[in-house]
Structure 1
């Protein structure tokens, strides 16, 4: 092997080793509604930084319980702003690290084309047997759904037809599989590249429910982890913003 080729080979090996040393994994707890966008962000994050995300998704309330019980998550992406603030106050998250990474949008959706009208009038009709909602005690999108029903004066009218999912993912599945004709889901679950992917939907006006401010926070296990801090910074940048827009979120 010539000295030049040997030098090039050594440089390549050194570069690979340096990348391996610098690359790290980030343990992320993410609210179910943001699971798909985060996977898209994770691909770009890995390409840009070399760091990889290990993602665990679920209802915000369930993830909070896991964090309090010692789950080794380093970053928490909540579906609300109150749970990260609570973790900060309890000493389970790094003070000053919390910020709103996305503002979620609620949608009433059915996989059937033309079934849900553009103003949600279908809710006032008797043409459905089951309406899916997420558990309002643990899932912020479920709470938002109950607020919409209250404002529309429909709580009593539909209460016997409600099918409750443990989180927004299960709620979506109830509708997608036909166990409920329609349901309140996160717009991000049915929306991509500026349009509803399939079926029919009513994008619920923001004035009908309290803003779904989704906050991120650095958890105590991640306080000294550069990769965890890099992810939080990445969520504030243009690459993440493009993904958020494509899935129907606001910042």
Structure 2
């Protein structure tokens, strides 16, 4: 660039000041659009040598919920111990939203064990299976064939639920919820040792028999947990569908005939 005479340099400086260029940054102009020279990329540092780190509790694999349920159920030597094992089982979140743990009612030495669906609102409040209006209907049904939840010996029944806790909004149970609680249900049946299982609902049929479709299964003897099992319509279903009471009566007569066969 040719040197400027003093007059031209002064005029140029005044023009720059008028344009707002009132601060000198460097002695020489810099072309900001020119690409900088490429710098060599430094080699990455060598990785540190591998060392064996001790496995901490946080790094250990999580306990399998079903395996732990199997273990806890197996060591329960009585119904009271099984109840405590369920209360101490930490892996099923249903317990967090339930008001009570619905375990059982009736005579644990009875010949008949009735397993119902997961507890509803009334069962959750009462703390025992088959409560409220549906429980009152069940009591009338049993009385028609000489059985009662407060009966003893041959006149008694033992009542349980497929799950011990109410499901949120009474939704259907998830497969993992059923799987982790199934060992406790199986052990419950083993400890009670009934002669006959009555499965009142789709949920106990699915858990014990591995099949659903109660309206097709009802009234037909099958086997569950190694015992004679009779699927039956639950009282809550009969309250919604009064026309099905005829089928329920037929099933009750079938149960009575199995308990007291004619000579």
Please state which structure has a larger fraction of its residues in strand. 1
TM-score (structure 2 length as normaliser): 0.28
TM-score (structure 1 length as normaliser): 0.29
| Bigger radius of gyration among the two | 2
Higher relative contact order (CA 8 A, sep 6+): 1
